[in-house]
Amino acid sequence: MKRILVSGGAGFIGSHLCFRLVNEGHEVICLDNFFTGSKENVQHLLDYDNFELVRHDVSNPYSAEVDEIYNLACPASPIQYQVDPIQTIKTSVMGAINMLGLANRVKAKILQASTSEVYGDPIIHPQPECYWGNVNPVGYRSCYDEGKRCAETLFMDYHRQNNVKIKIIRIFNTYGPQMLPNDGRVVSNFIVQALRNEDITIYGSGTQTRSFQYVDDLIEGMTRMMATGDDFTGPVNIGNPGEFSILELAEKVIAMTGSKSHIVFRPLPHDDPKQRQPNITLAKEKLNWQPTVVLDAGLQKTIDYFKQIIK
């Protein structure tokens, strides 16, 4: 059994990862400043002897004897990461430096939760890992996109310069239980609006596309990536190639919830990518991984979750 640090472990994805690792019997330290995460997300783990929750901001150094580090700390919803863009980029860049420094000192393997946002508003479609992207360096999304791109650079440089054992995954839009009702991302927004019979807010015309991955598939891909040999660093795309327009998603959610909601159209945010779909050839080959949960099945589980928690 290993000692594993999960930064951002009290967030949406982090809490699923901690649950998986604790249940496998590993000793897990969950590091979080609770900016977009919450203690409630990991409440069910607090009784386990092999789980420890620490309030800490990763833009400051942290020390612990660990075998593996999953670096997830960073707000991921555009609305949340634009609240304090300077803190967002500090979290990505200083957080990466601090976690890589720790990995270097204690000889731990470290995985970076990177993102499809490194491809920006992509001109190549679907996106393979060899595509360098089309990112605005001075826009409202740049604090996140460029922060994550810089973190990838830092990971590769610590690997080349200091032989740190690194893994980079590029996560595509992921959804599921334990997203916050006010998270601001599209799947949680639409489900919460539908369950409350409120207007469903489509930004722009709804023709933009995303490829939605259920969280369980991501956790499987992420842990498989961590288990690969030292010679494979990635980056590797982890996402579900099923591509849907935002209008299709809205209609699906309304149909599945039997909602009386109406669709309304709101202005498109700056630099909102027009299309996004992962090419997962590399993940299939190197991780023997591909997603297994289709959108309807994942949405149903997520709708069931939100039915329990919202009034």
Q: Give the catalytic positions in this structure.
A: 144
Q: Does 149 bind ligand UDP (CB under 6 A)?
A: no
**DSSP state at residue 120:** B
Single residue of 4, 5, 6, 8 touching ligand NAD by CB under 6 A: 8
- The distance of closest approach from Cβ of residue 269 to ligand UDP in the complex, given in angstroms and rounded to an integer, is 5
Single residue of 171, 194, 254, 295 touching ligand NAD by CB under 6 A: 171
x/- site string to ligand NAD, residues 104 to 143, per CB under 6 A? ---------x-x----------------------------
The gap from C-alpha 153 to its chain's centroid, in whole angstroms, comes to: 18
Degrees, nearest 5: CA angle 64-227-116: 90
For residues 205 and 185, what is the distance between their CA atoms, to the nearest angstrom? 17
Single residue of 66, 69, 72, 186 touching ligand NAD by CB under 6 A: 72
User: What tokens does 226 get?
Assistant: 């961590």
Binding residues with ligand NAD: total (CB under 6 A): 28
Residue 202 binds which entry of ligand UDP, ligand NAD, none, with Cβ cut-offs from 5 to 8 Å by kind? Answer: ligand UDP
Q: Are 257 and 194 in contact (CB under 8 A)?
A: yes
For residues 211 and 209, what is the distance between their CA atoms, to the nearest angstrom? 7
3-state secondary structure of 216: helix
Q: Does 199 bind ligand UDP (CB under 6 A)?
A: no
Single residue of 208, 259, 277, 302 touching ligand UDP by CB under 6 A: 208
**Residue in 45, 53, 75, 46 with CA at minimum distance from that of residue 5:** 53
3-state secondary structure of 257: helix
Dihedral sign (CA 290, 296, 300, 306): positive
Q: Does 186 bind ligand UDP (CB under 6 A)?
A: yes
Strands 209-211 and 243-245: antiparallel
Residue 27, H or E segment:
strand 27-32
Altogether, the residues listed in the chain come to a count of: 311
- The distance of closest approach from Cβ of residue 199 to ligand NAD in the complex, given in angstroms and rounded to an integer, is 24
Single residue of 73, 99, 192, 222 touching ligand NAD by CB under 6 A: 73
Residues 39-98 that bind ligand UDP (CB under 6 A): 77-78
Q: Does 203 bind ligand UDP (CB under 6 A)?
A: yes
For residues 240 and 213, what is the distance between their CA atoms, to the nearest angstrom? 5
Partner residues linked to 7 by β-bridges: 31, 71
x/- site string to ligand NAD, residues 172 to 211, per CB under 6 A? -xx-------------------------------------
Choice between 92 and 233, CB closer to ligand UDP: 92
Q: Are 46 and 86 in contact (CB under 8 A)?
A: no
Q: Are 244 and 311 in contact (CB under 8 A)?
A: no
Q: Does 35 bind ligand NAD (CB under 6 A)?
A: yes
Single residue of 13, 194, 250, 282 touching ligand NAD by CB under 6 A: 13
Choice between 55 and 274, CB closer to ligand NAD: 55
Q: Which residues bind ligand NAD (CB under 6 A)?
A: 7-8, 10-14, 32-37, 57-59, 72-76, 91, 95, 113, 115, 171, 173-174
Q: Which residues bind ligand UDP (CB under 6 A)?
A: 77-78, 173, 185-186, 189, 201-203, 208, 210, 246, 269, 272
